[in-house]
Amino acid sequence: MKSNHEEEYEQFIIKSIERTEKLGLENNEFKINKNLVVDLELINKLALEMIELRDNHNIPRQITISDCGAMSYTLQQLLQEHGIPALITIGDVIEVGKARYKTTVQSLKNEIEKGISNDQVYLHVWLTLPNMHIIDTTLLLKSQKNKFINKKLDYIKDGLYSQVKINNRAIFKPMIVGSTFLYKIGLLR
């Protein structure tokens, strides 16, 4: 039985896809499939490969922690190579009733029109799988910052949230989907 949060998340995803198309960003062929079973070990392995790739390109781990756009995009590409569809999802995380990034649909529209105006980005990016499971590695890395920076965190499966409400205190709120938005505002090049 789905929780209210799971039903709400699914509706947010549907509305986000519609909103994205209305904004002319991209037509998305994403299909919800509640029966999709994914190999969490494979996803973990791919996420670790992604981090190793960033390390090999001398991207500081302090940057990796905050680079939710590139991290989600790269992991999406790796997942697709293994036949696992994933939707780049842009929005906010609500923790204890407060928006962590203070993202609104209007602020995202402003970013489309003007691009990123400074180094501060007021949005969060994660992946949504067709079964409505969420993959968010950067939120986990932020919570384990010291271990990650010191390369003592090599297992990130806890970043794979099977529910849209984490530890009864955080809720993901999607607003726009797809990589076109990230390119348009300059988070991806």
pLDDT per residue of the chain (189 residues) written in tens, 0 to 9: 556 777 888 999 999 999 999 999 987 789 999 898 888 888 888 988 999 999 999 999 999 999 999 999 999 999 999 999 999 999 999 888 899 999 999 999 988 888 776 666 789 999 999 999 889 888 878 878 888 888 877 656 555 655 555 555 678 999 999 999 999 998 888
Cα 43 to Cα 81: distance, rounded to the nearest angstrom: 12
68-81 and 40-56 helices cross at what angle (nearest 10)? Answer: 120
What phi, psi does 185 have (nearest 5°)? -90, -5
Domain tally, the chain = 1
Residue 155 belongs to domain spanning:
4-185
Whether the CB-CB separation of 127 and 136 falls below 8 Å is answered with yes
Cα 135 to Cα 160: distance, rounded to the nearest angstrom: 5
